[in-house]
Amino acid sequence: MHRKEILAKLAAGEISLEEADRLLAELGPELPPLTCKVSPKGAVSVYGLQRMPVTLYADQWFRLLEFGEQIRAFIERHRAQLRWREKGEMTEKLASPESGADTHGASSTASDPHETSQGTCA
């Protein structure tokens, strides 16, 4: 159930305030929406991930987006070593069985040519 559905049921009197509070707490914190803007220097700035925007030039974004699957695989292999700032949809998506995530921890050996034994991603 989504936040809006819970609030609609509360407004309609279908659930109590306590039940709505419990359901909303289970959903966790609502993450701010991600937005893009063109920076004064002509780069793309993404807002909503952290306090300051993440800013890259268009060609850098395309390069990073093409590398996305390798980043996901790296995160899955090193799950036990990584910290998560927000518990939410992405954490659940990576942990789901259909994602192929390793839920028993990360391997300590480097099997990717872009990865070192220290667990960095080039």
Taking only the tens place, the pLDDT of each residue in 87-102 is 555 555 555 544 444 4
Could you tell me the two tokens for 81? 């070593």
Cα–Cα distance between 73 and 44 in angstroms, integer? 25
Side by side, the strands of the sheet bearing 54-56 are: 35-38, 44-47, 54-56
Cα–Cα distance between 52 and 89 in angstroms, integer? 22
* Residue 38 pLDDT: 98
User: Is this prediction's pTM over 0.85?
Assistant: no
